[in-house]
Structure 1
Amino acid sequence: MSSSTAAPLLEKEDHARDAAFNKAMHGNSAQARGGIMAMFSKGGDAKKAAVDEYFKHWDNKTAKDETPEERAARQAEYATLTRHYYNLATDLYEYGWGQSFHFCRFSYGEPFYQAIARHEHYLAHCINIQRGMKVLDVGCGVGGPAREIAKFTGAHITGLNNNDYQIERATHYAAKEGMSNQLKFVKGDFMQMSFPDNSFDAVYAIEATVHAPTLEGIYSEIYRVLKPGGVFGVYEWLMTDKYDNDNLRHREIRLGIEQGDGISNMCTVADGLAAMKAAGFELIMNEDLAREDDPLPWWWPMAGDLRYAQTLSDIITVARMTKIGRYVAHSFAGLMETLRLAPAGTKKTADSLAHAADCLAAGGRDHLFTPMYLMVGKKPE
């Protein structure tokens, strides 16, 4: 595994190119009611190009034969890799998970979406977001957390994203909920933000900065745009101290997570802490929330284990993650491709996400991986 402290390799941004590709692949599907409806209205040639560009980093690659050069190649193309990952995965995410693309802790009697919201509220609490603050959401997805935190705190939130399709969907949802004056979603690479120095009162990232080629690089850029005295909070995806890169099974789990989640270079907890300090932050708190003694494990939806379902809604949501649910969905996707009613690559993407889900659950069970290592840092006055 590469260290998080190497100098970042930055891709040149081309917003016109990305906008043209977005139009060719997604058309008007950003206005669709839900992920499943949007999934089948894509430009076939553009989707094939996205599939080819994304999976060139993973096809015929194994954990046993992984080389530093392969990881470096993924790091060098971090922005393209991430952008095409979400071109392919966003609709499947919305269909299977909802509009907040992250994990969370669970309590007894707590419905799935209530737990998701509580996780967002806790981060807002930890960095003390207040009404009227100007806040940056780094890697905002389709805006689910931004909308929830805006409602919870009364802050104005700017969501940064390098995927045009997700920006369109986030903007659509904000307008639908009458929140356009409180939320703004902008295009940009989080490794080279266009915001001036000292622009935001607070910054947060929820399971997004893992897509960066180096953690020190992204944390340093966040430090730059944060006002002196401001606070940054992040839920980071990290391999824990139990991870052993010389253990083939451990590497297979890590590589499966990376492949299925668009990650060029996953780091360790030690790397994450070192990157925060190297960026200049005064570390206020850090804890692995995945190691809390909760009655339900964070990974249970990924495992499709219905024993942990709290409500009928949970059963409906998580049933899609069971082996039967996956088989039905993936067979349906294959049939739609065969009938040319869905673009080629839909089933391949779904299969990759399913493999990642298995690896996430395995990493969670063995405490090799955490998707919610909380770090909160302050920029000195």
Structure 2
Amino acid sequence: MVFLLPQEIFSFLRSFGGSIAPSNLENAVTFYEDLHSVNGGTEVQRKENYTNMINIYYDVATSFYEYGWCQSFHFSSRLYNETFHESIKRHEHYVALRLGLKPGMKVLDLGCGIGGPLREIAAFSGATVIGVNNNESQIKRGTVLNKQYGVAENCQFLKADFMKIPVPDNSIDAAYNMESCCHAPDLVALYKELYRVLKPGQCVAGYDWCMTKEYDPNDQYHNKVKDEIEFGNSLPTIRSTTEYIQAIKAAGFRVLMEEDMADKPDVHIPWYDSLNPNRLSLDGFRRTWLARLVGRQMLKVLEFTRIAPKGSIEVNELLERSGNGLYEGGRLRIFTPIFFYLAQKPHNENI
């Protein structure tokens, strides 16, 4: 984290921690950390506690994400002469085009964060997009941004667990996720829920986090990297690309397309470049090692002076470990956050 203007510091501090009381931040972070393999936790524990785990993570991580990344909390590979933000929008537009979104359609954004993709896709397609999110602080922030950008009419939020979406059967025209279904404790159950709410013949698409065919479960370092990614990103586990597609099919969908967008031949800058610990650039300065260093020292001062709550430094360290794990996973080609799929609910459900 790094801030260039004093007002950004105060804005960050106002939103940091979400619904967690400042006096309870350190305990909440400790609870989160103890669920993960790097601290002796298990996959079973993470799945049993996934609601609390994810809410704690996004309560403490969202402010860092927004100020250090952007309002769209997802990765993208970059084409030649393409800026970071242009690549983010391209990935969002690609989902809208593959789904054939248009005005009059009612669309779900699963695990929508503060609504960056939601607003972009709604503006690009003209569809009404409803963000499904179980984190109250993110919804509050997203609602403020919707009003700020004047898009409240066709950009909405629904506070709910996406494992149990409170909408009628066969009522939704399309659904997508931007690297969020990886949080699900049961992927088959999640896609069965999506199958229920989608109209016959309609589709779900998105990008998600998977281990690639290069991942070797018997390689100790590969497993260490996988554990770090799970720890730093509130994941119960990371499925392989094969497991991911099998889960979608098991829920009843027809898979129309699957592709690792990180492995395309026209990629000029890989998705993990922004996380390179040695990167130094004026473009996206806040994502460089120097920005991390400055931000780390600033946060130490803020916590020491009790302006920031105790546990803030620990959160920053958690997110830095996350970035390093993701960079290694990308560099080794054992992990991708942009595995794309398009799947259709059959017109005739008996087929």
Note closer, same or farther for the CA distance 1:228–1:245 as it changes in structure 2 (3 Å cut).
same
Contact kept, 8 Å, 1:106 with 1:298, in 2: the verdict is: yes
Paired amino acid for 1:232: V
List runs of 5+ in structure 1 lacking aligned partners. Answer: 1-32
Tell me what 2:111 maps to.
139
Shift of 1:127: 1.2
More deviation, 351-360/93-102: 351-360
Q: Which 4+ stretches in 1 moved above 4 angstroms?
A: 33-36, 304-307
Tell me what 2:289 maps to.
323
SS at match of 1:114: helix
Shift of 1:141: 0.2
Tell me what 1:226 maps to.
198
Contact kept, 8 Å, 2:33 with 2:39, in 1: the verdict is: no
Alignment of 1:149 with 2:121, yes or no, is: yes
Tell me what 1:55 maps to.
33
Deviations 1:217-260, CA, capped at 9 Å, x for gaps: 21111111111111100201000111112211011111111111
Q: Aligned to 1:96, which of 37, 47, 68? A: 68
Shift of 1:264: 1.2
- The CA distance in 2 between the partners of 1:58 and 1:285, in whole Å, is 33
- The CA distance in 2 between the partners of 1:263 and 1:35, in whole Å, is 29
More deviation, 53-62/371-380: 53-62
Tell me what 1:364 maps to.
330
Alignment of 1:342 with 2:315, yes or no, is: no
Contact kept, 8 Å, 1:50 with 1:88, in 2: the verdict is: no
Tell me what 2:58 maps to.
86
Tell me what 2:243 maps to.
271
TM-score (norm. length: structure 1): 0.84
Tell me what 1:375 maps to.
341
Shift of 1:360: 0.8
Note closer, same or farther for the CA distance 1:332–1:58 as it changes in structure 2 (3 Å cut).
farther
- The CA distance in 1 between the partners of 2:345 and 2:148, in whole Å, is 35
Alignment of 1:282 with 2:282, yes or no, is: no
SS at match of 2:306: coil
Contact kept, 8 Å, 1:34 with 1:91, in 2: the verdict is: no
Paired amino acid for 2:295: A
Note closer, same or farther for the CA distance 1:119–1:267 as it changes in structure 2 (3 Å cut).
same
Shift of 1:320: 2.7
Shift of 1:132: 1.4
Paired amino acid for 1:272: Y
- The CA distance in 2 between the partners of 1:158 and 1:91, in whole Å, is 22
Contact kept, 8 Å, 1:127 with 1:233, in 2: the verdict is: yes
Tell me what 1:15 maps to.
none
List runs of 5+ in structure 2 lacking aligned partners. Answer: 1-5
Shift of 1:304: 4.8
Instruction: Tell me how many residue pairs correspond in the alignment.
Output: 336
Contact kept, 8 Å, 2:36 with 2:230, in 1: the verdict is: no
Shift of 1:44: 1.4
SS at match of 2:236: coil
- The CA distance in 1 between the partners of 2:184 and 2:7, in whole Å, is 28
User: Which residues of 2 match residues 15-34 of structure 1 at below 5 A?
Assistant: none
Shift of 1:60: 6.1
Deviations 1:311-353, CA, capped at 9 Å, x for gaps: x5xx2x2x33333221221121111111100011211111111
Paired amino acid for 2:232: G
- The CA distance in 2 between the partners of 1:243 and 1:124, in whole Å, is 30
Q: Aligned to 1:44, which of 22, 28, 37? A: 22
Shift of 1:47: 2.4
SS at match of 1:40: helix
- The CA distance in 2 between the partners of 1:192 and 1:373, in whole Å, is 24
Shift of 1:38: 3.6
Contact kept, 8 Å, 2:110 with 2:177, in 1: the verdict is: yes
SS at match of 1:235: strand
Paired amino acid for 2:243: D
Contact kept, 8 Å, 1:212 with 1:264, in 2: the verdict is: yes
Tell me what 2:3 maps to.
none
Contact kept, 8 Å, 2:37 with 2:227, in 1: the verdict is: no
Q: How big is the alpha-carbon RMSD for the aligned residues of Structure 1 and Structure 2?
A: 1.8
Note closer, same or farther for the CA distance 1:369–1:39 as it changes in structure 2 (3 Å cut).
same
SS at match of 1:283: strand
Tell me what 1:189 maps to.
161
- The CA distance in 1 between the partners of 2:66 and 2:11, in whole Å, is 10
Contact kept, 8 Å, 1:35 with 1:92, in 2: the verdict is: no
Contact kept, 8 Å, 1:35 with 1:93, in 2: the verdict is: no
Paired amino acid for 2:89: A
Deviations 1:173-192, CA, capped at 9 Å, x for gaps: 00111111111101111111
Tell me what 1:170 maps to.
142
Tell me what 2:321 maps to.
355
Alignment of 1:252 with 2:224, yes or no, is: yes
Alignment of 1:302 with 2:302, yes or no, is: no
- The CA distance in 1 between the partners of 2:328 and 2:13, in whole Å, is 31
Q: Aligned to 1:121, which of 93, 98, 101? A: 93
Paired amino acid for 1:51: V
